[in-house]
Structure 1
Amino acid sequence: MYWDRECETMSREQLRALQLERLKLTIERVYRNVSFYRQRFAEMGIKPSSIRSLEDLRRLPFTTKQDLRDNYPFGLFAVPMSDVVRVHASSGTTGKPTVVGYTQNDINTWAELIARSLVCAGATKFDVVQNAYGYGLFTGGLGLHFGAERLGATVVPVSGGNTQRQLMLMQDFGTTILTCTPSYALYMAEEGQKMGLDFKKLPLKAGIFGAEPWSERMRQQLEEKLDLMALDIYGLSEIMGPGVAMECQAKQGMHIFEDHFIPEIINPETGEVLPPGEEGELVITTITKEAFPLIRYRTRDITRIDPEPCSCGRTHVRIRRITGRSDDMLIIRGVNVFPSQVESVLLEFGETEPHYLLVVDRKANLDYLEIWVEVAEHMFSDTVRKLEDLEQRLRERIESVLGISARVKLVEPNTIPRSEGKAKRVVDRRQI
């Protein structure tokens, strides 16, 4: 089932021709209307006429989040503010937020791509979509909302938080599609279990989970506890918001909608473009955005492109699950560590819950990693010897996978703070 069969299943030749046409128009737009790009192109001796093929894209400069901050708030907009109908902003970790703008056409395109994403999950106009992403400057809530309305589905705009109400509405309104972060979905599952709620008796059929990295093991947990199909959605506010890429029911990666975005994978250290199949940093160029087009934006997300045909029939390439970010990965004693790697190990055992915290500290100029993980309820009442055995097995497995030693600290169920948004997975005390 497709939302837009013509666009989603066009041949690779047609798609590349369309991408080149739209790329040329985008380059002309930013060269004419955005002084930042005009200056950067001039420094590199590039004019719009220099772009004659898709291969020429790699000649263009990268855009980074720092560039967005340096041009705060509207310096990278390619249209006058009178044409901007909405702005969103990402919180960022330091300083002022990064601001993005949308024309009415941009909003319409976004809604189309979210509708396309929902259909990837099997949604139709007959579904009830409970949207538990946050509304406001964050793109998640309003992005999913407008797309679900575009599909014609019934939208429950509950936003995040107030979990008891979430579960009540889920039962009373007959929710069939749940949209939220995967960590919050697990939290809802836990709270529902405490209430005696049997999710198998609810009409839930699919969950669209994004906004944070999550593992295949977490998918199994979500599907088992909520009795639904758990699918990954990808996006970031700088590019558009959710709906840049979406997993279909084949569960073999997220189709990136190449009629609107051109993906590249680069070596995050050198900037070299890597061939399909190799893991690196995802770079995206927007080719239909009007208000806020971006050229070769470094997402800092680590993934790889899978160009192999998908069983669903969609011809757009897929990006594999995001394994982490090149700018927030932990470097511990010279080893790169992503929280999702740790999560995969923890959930292999079946004796822990999918709630954990990585605590990094420095003692005598050496970095130490301690992993706090909740023990499953049936294990916590077990003997001390069995718990010690679990700690040892986890420690050995983590060292085998990550290549570094870490202390494992087993904690009681419900000890680690829950999040109704993005889960906080790392406490880095080295910066204190």
Structure 2
Amino acid sequence: MFTLFRPELEAYAREVLAEQRRLHQEGAPADDLHALQMERVAETIRYARANSAFYRARLSDVAVPPTGPIGLQELAAVPFTTKDDLRSELFDVMSQPLDRAWVYYETTGTTGRATPCPRDERDSIVNNTALTLAYQDIFAQHGERHVVAVMGPTELHSTGDTFGDVLRNLGHTVVKMWPHSPVVGFPRALALLERLGVTALVCTPGMAISLAKAARAAGVDLRSRLGVRLILTLGELTSPAMLENLGALWSAGVYNCMYASQEASIMAACHADGRLYTEPLNNYVEVVDPDTGRAVEPVDGVREGELVVTHLYQGSKPLVRYRTGDMVRLSARAGSVREVMQPIGRVRDALRLGGRRVTAFDLEQALFTHVRGVIDYYLVIDERDGQDLVTVHLEPANREAGLRLDREAIRRSVADAFGVRCEVVLGPTDAITSTGAMVSWKAARIDDRRGGEPEPERLAALAIATGRSA
């Protein structure tokens, strides 16, 4: 509604919607889209260099024409922007003063200095339009109208505002709640889910697990007393096999609904087929080798490496060649200019098991291939007789689910996939597994005891978990 009071923004919103709707419904010739992207990359470089103190210095020697597109060779010479840059330069990265933004967010600051993430109306229009078009078909598959519980992690996080706007666009009812808040709490959250007839959740996988645990402790049957039909997960790495397990647990359709960050906004959105797709009108994406920074070549149509993004719109804080620190697999899709994106874990979350590099995604996917009816899990990695030993701790949803688990199949799956010894233990997990979105998947799910002292992120996760259980 705010655009009614800002005619220039109403016109901009209509232009963005028309352009994104054309791409969503009809696609676009790849050559035409690439030319448009190169023109908008150049616009972002010129805009950031003119308005950001950080980029004025960082991009001073970048060869970009005064008008028109930048070439691929010239773009490859543009310096990267890193998370360390954002943490050290803070407000100097911004291309607008704070009083030009409509809202201010920050990163959580649990694994490093919190960084400012303000957004102006154009930032929100571009990103929320893409999400609205992507999610309309997902929600339609699960009913005409929905009451949606949106569970954002902090007051300084964008989840509540973003989904409030997107769900309002789609005509659904929003209930904003944070069960970890002392004002709300899990008993009240469960009561609201039941009393309001909530049909959909927007939350982290860890929150879906925590709610299921709280329901079990309260004697609330997820299937007979709660009518949740749809869960959109975000904020944590989640494998397709884990999504299937959550779906079985809740008797709901579960989608990994976006790949995004506070700093870089929406980089991929889930569509009706359950896959994440890039948003080529929002970002220009590159995939680089995390060690060398060089572009990776596709192997069998798949590019695997660290994701790099440049914003194609000019708002409060556009980023140029931003190294996300996240590993992805990007796959071309026949007849589409969008690529399928599979996040596979942070660069620094990679493990060495059985003498080779293993991603978080591959480890979780292999584990859950033979797991259903499990409410939570974590892994302990140790060394025994010169060989890696992975102990898989699983918390069954109930006694019957525990009896159905084929522990030998799980053990073989992990041992054979990664060349390690494996043991499987059934029993309760603790609060640390719920900290993945606040810290990292690895810190929440992996207790690697091979290096002596716990890593700093593991200690941060333990501190958050202790605070929540106090």
Instruction: Give the TM-score normalised by the residue count of structure 2.
Output: 0.78
Quote the Cα distance in structure 2 between the aligned partners of 1:380 and 1:250: 29
CA contact (8 A) 2:64 2:74 kept: no
Match of 1:282 in 2: 307
Contact kept in structure 2, 1:257 and 1:316, CA below 8 Å? no
Residue 417 of structure 1 and its aligned partner are, at CA, apart by: 5.0
Specify the SS of the correspondent of 1:291.
Answer: coil
Note the C-alpha offset of 1:360.
4.2
2:366 is aligned, of 327, 345, 348, to 345
| Distance in 1 (alpha carbons) for counterparts of 2:272 and 2:402 | 39
- Residue pairs, 1:368-387, within 5 angstroms: 368-374=388-394, 376=396, 377-378=398-399
Gaps of 5+ in 2: 1-16, 455-470
Q: 1:118 to 1:177 in 2, by over 3 A?
A: farther
Name the counterpart of 1:97: 114
Counterpart for residue 10 of structure 2: none
Paired position in structure 2 for 1:236 = 261
Deviation at 1:415? 5.6
SS of aligned partner of 2:374: strand
Percentage of pairs with the same residue: 25
Q: Which amino acid aligns with 1:173?
A: L
Deviates more, 1:276-285 or 1:134-143: 134-143
Give a deviation string over 1:92-136, Cα, whole Å, max 9, x none: 454421221212222333332332343242259832221023242
Work out which of the residue numbers 425, 428, 433 in structure 2 matches 1:410.
Answer: 425
**Matches of 1:247 and 1:351 in 2, distance apart?**
23
Q: What's the CA shift for 1:349?
A: 2.5
8 Å contact kept, 1:356–1:416: no
For 2:11, the equivalent position in structure 1 comes to none
Deviations 1:400-425 (A, max 9, x none): 2123x244351314567552763611
Structure 1: segments with no counterpart, 5+ residues: none
Map 1:195-274 onto structure 2 (within 5 A).
Answer: 195-199=219-223, 202-232=226-256, 233-240=258-265, 243-251=266-274, 253-274=275-296
Deviation larger for 77-86 or 350-359: 350-359
Counterpart of 2:97 in structure 1 is 80
1:140 equivalent in structure 2: 159
Deviation at 1:51, TM superposition (A): 4.8
User: Which residue is 1:182 aligned to?
Assistant: 205
Give 2:87's aligned residue.
Answer: 69
SS where residue 57 of structure 1 aligns?
A: helix
Residues 310-338 of structure 1, C-alpha deviations (whole Å, 9 max, x = no match): 7xxxx451333212111222235753233
Q: CA deviation at 1:263?
A: 1.3
Aligned pair count reads 415
1:28 maps to 46
Displacement after TM superposition at 1:88 (Å) = 1.4
Q: What is the letter of the counterpart of residue 146 of structure 2?
A: D
Distance (whole Å) between structure 2 residues aligned to residue 57 and residue 334 of structure 1: 37
What CA distance in whole angstroms lies between the structure 2 residues aligned with 1:130 and 1:380? 28
Counting only pairs closer than 5 Å after superposition, residues 386-405 of structure 1 correspond to structure 2 as 390=407, 393-403=409-419, 405=420
Q: Which has the higher helix share?
A: 2
2:447 matched residue in structure 1: 427
Counterpart residue identity of residue 107, structure 2: S
Letter of the aligned partner of 2:279 in structure 1? Answer: F
Q: Is the 8 A contact 2:150 2:163 kept in 1?
A: yes
The alignment's C-alpha RMSD in Å is 3.3
Give the C-alpha shift of residue 166 in structure 1.
2.6
1:24-173, aligned counterparts within 5 Å?
A: 24-43=42-61, 45-49=62-66, 51-53=69-71, 56-72=74-90, 74-123=91-140, 126-161=145-180, 162-173=185-196
DSSP-derived class of the 1:238 partner = coil
Indicate the SS of the match to 1:323.
Answer: strand
TM-score by length of 1: 0.84
Decide whether the 8 Å contact of 1:347 with 1:354 is kept in 2. Answer: no
